[in-house]
């Protein structure tokens, strides 16, 4: 990192030879308006709406004032000679909060990560910052990916934590401490692979209505108790974002099972409680109109093999209510062996029954 002071604003100019952090200027106004009115920015960031040149000019003036007061360190991000976004550290003490936004034409190139690292290195070295906090509205997957890639420890999902655009929302929260490196602190499994007829991929927001239909189906409800009734689209979205968060923390991995041609959601397969010693437990949901077509018969064994061969899981377990003959048959089809029964440890349609356990070791697969 190189750092120097400008003559006018005393804003340190930082560079890693790919991105440069500098003071905002009047020349940035038009592109600030462009990124502030981008639909993704408007959805996930606190922005006035409508947003125009006067708002951008006030933002730039506020960025300068933050350096004078010491309450916020705000930089413009420059790449290949062009303004591409902003990054800021808010707070004047040993704990600060990171914020960042990129212009749409600069996304997907790892520029936010570079800018965040430069800003945090400066804050630790020159402002005695000890902890940098990150928080975002639950569901902001792009921001979560960036925080994860920068080495933030993903700490918690907190209900009713942020006010975003006139509403109170749940938040994902993380921290980075001075002395930490910038490598991811958890293994985020998010793979995609295909079988003859199907694609297994990460869950997407467009799957929400089909997830809702799956979870609300009477057969699903028989074995998946504790679901809201009625089950609404926001409950399905919460199921999806929960799985995004736990995957990022290295605790789970979920694949949507989708039609190879249309990409229509047909169900999902998850592994959870991932552990180097005990392995992982596997489970699944099936959309009502996918049953009876061999969807899981084809994809479930493939997912088990993928866990062993690609994700390096050493042991797979699965549990099924004793009355759930379909799930038990599927476990056997994937090569899992019955290893025991827990008496009255399952509840199906409100009735307690035995829970049957299956397992498979990687070396036996």
Q: What is the pLDDT of residues 341-350, one digit of tens each?
A: 999 999 888 8
83 forms bridges with which residues in the sheet? 78
**What's the confidence (pLDDT) of residue 222?**
78
Q: Give percent of the chain with pLDDT exceeding 70.
A: 97
Q: d(Cα 42, Cα 48) in Å, to the nearest integer?
A: 9
Within-domain flag for 73: yes
**Domain limits at 45?**
2-177
Same domain? For 112 and 231 the reply is no
Q: At residue 60, does pLDDT exceed 90?
A: yes
Same domain? For 337 and 203 the reply is yes
Q: d(Cα 146, Cα 113) in Å, to the nearest integer?
A: 6
Q: Write down the pTM of the prediction.
A: 0.92
Q: Average pLDDT in the 172-200 region? A: 97
**What's the confidence (pLDDT) of residue 1?**
55
**What's the confidence (pLDDT) of residue 365?**
62
* Tens digit of each residue's pLDDT (9 = 90 or more) over 309-325: 999 999 999 999 999 99
Q: 6: pLDDT confidence band, cut at 50, 70 and 90? A: very low
Q: Which of 120, 144, 177 is the last residue of a domain?
A: 177
**What's the confidence (pLDDT) of residue 219?**
81
Same domain? For 129 and 85 the reply is yes
Q: 229: pLDDT confidence band, cut at 50, 70 and 90? A: confident
Q: 5: pLDDT confidence band, cut at 50, 70 and 90? A: very low
* Tens digit of each residue's pLDDT (9 = 90 or more) over 10-50: 899 999 999 999 999 999 999 999 999 999 999 999 888 89
Q: Average pLDDT in the 287-313 region? A: 96
CB-CB contact of 138 with 241 (8 Å): yes
Same domain? For 147 and 251 the reply is no
Within-domain flag for 84: yes
Within-domain flag for 182: no
Same domain? For 122 and 221 the reply is no
**What's the confidence (pLDDT) of residue 41?**
95
Phi/psi of residue 118, nearest 5 degrees? -60, -45
Q: Average pLDDT in the 267-287 region? A: 96
Q: At residue 88, does pLDDT exceed 70?
A: yes
CB-CB contact of 292 with 298 (8 Å): no
* 312/1: higher pLDDT: 312
Q: Give percent of the chain with pLDDT exceeding 90.
A: 89
Q: d(Cα 56, Cα 64) in Å, to the nearest integer?
A: 13
Q: Which of 114, 148, 177 is the last residue of a domain?
A: 177
Same domain? For 168 and 201 the reply is no
Within-domain flag for 36: yes
Q: d(Cα 47, Cα 73) in Å, to the nearest integer?
A: 19
Query: E strand or H helix at 117, and its extent?
Result: helix 111-127
Mean of the per-residue pLDDT values of the chain:
94
Same domain? For 162 and 292 the reply is no
3-state secondary structure of 33: helix
Same domain? For 157 and 212 the reply is no
Q: d(Cα 72, Cα 100) in Å, to the nearest integer?
A: 13
**What's the confidence (pLDDT) of residue 3?**
47
- Number of independent structural domains in the chain: 2
Q: d(Cα 2, Cα 18) in Å, to the nearest integer?
A: 12
Q: Average pLDDT in the 94-111 region? A: 97
**What's the confidence (pLDDT) of residue 218?**
87
CB-CB contact of 213 with 235 (8 Å): no
Within-domain flag for 205: yes
162 forms bridges with which residues in the sheet? 169
Same domain? For 232 and 338 the reply is yes
Within-domain flag for 188: no
Within-domain flag for 26: yes
Q: At residue 157, does pLDDT exceed 90?
A: yes
Q: Average pLDDT in the 326-345 region? A: 96
Within-domain flag for 187: no
**Could you tell me the CATH number of the domain that includes residue 264?**
3.40.630.30
Which tokens in the block code for residue 206? 């467009």
Same domain? For 251 and 281 the reply is yes
**What's the confidence (pLDDT) of residue 4?**
43
Same domain? For 61 and 143 the reply is yes
Q: Which of 117, 145, 177 is the last residue of a domain?
A: 177
Same domain? For 232 and 144 the reply is no
Task: Indicate the DSSP class of residue 336.
Answer: -
Q: Average pLDDT in the 205-225 region? A: 89
Task: Indicate the DSSP class of residue 232.
Answer: -
């Amino acid at each position: 990192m190189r750092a120097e002071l400008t003559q006018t604003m005393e804003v340190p100019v930082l560079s890693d030879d790919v991105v440069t952090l500098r003071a905002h200027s009047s020349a940035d106004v038009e592109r600030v308006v462009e990124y502030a009115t981008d639909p993704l920015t408007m959805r996930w960031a606190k922005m006035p709406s409508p947003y125009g040149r006067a708002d951008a000019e006030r933002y730039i003036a506020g960025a300068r004032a933050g350096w004078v007061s010491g309450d916020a360190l705000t930089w413009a991000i420059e790449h290949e000679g062009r303004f591409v976004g902003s990054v800021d550290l808010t707070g004047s003490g040993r704990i600060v909060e990171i914020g960042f936004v990129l212009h749409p034409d600069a996304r997907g190139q790892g520029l936010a990560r570079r800018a965040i690292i430069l800003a945090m290195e400066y804050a630790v070295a020159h402002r005695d910052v000890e902890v940098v906090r990150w928080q975002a509205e639950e569901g902001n997957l792009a921001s979560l990916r960036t925080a994860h890639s920068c080495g933030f420890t993903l700490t918690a999902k907190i209900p009713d934590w942020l006010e975003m655009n006139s509403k109170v929302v749940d938040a994902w929260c993380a921290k980075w401490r001075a002395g930490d490196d910038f490598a991811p602190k958890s293994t985020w499994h998010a793979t995609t692979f295909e079988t003859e007829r199907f694609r297994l991929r990460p869950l997407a927001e467009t799957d929400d209505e089909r997830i809702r239909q799956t979870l609300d189906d009477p057969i699903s409800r028989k074995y998946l108790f504790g679901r809201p009734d009625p089950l609404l689209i926001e409950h399905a979205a919460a199921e999806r974002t929960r799985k995004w968060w736990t995957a990022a923390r290295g605790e789970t991995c979920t694949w949507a099972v989708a039609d190879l041609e249309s990409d229509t959601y047909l169900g999902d397969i998850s592994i959870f409680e991932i552990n180097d010693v005990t392995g992982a437990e596997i489970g699944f949901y099936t959309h009502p109109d996918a049953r009876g077509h061999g969807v899981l018969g084809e994809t479930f064994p493939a997912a088990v093999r993928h866990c062993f061969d690609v994700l390096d899981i050493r042991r797979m377990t699965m549990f099924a209510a004793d009355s759930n003959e379909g799930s038990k048959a599927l476990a056997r089809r994937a090569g899992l062996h019955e290893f025991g029964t827990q008496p009255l440890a399952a509840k199906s349609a409100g009735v307690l029954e035995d829970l049957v356990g299956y397992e498979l070791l990687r070396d036996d697969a």
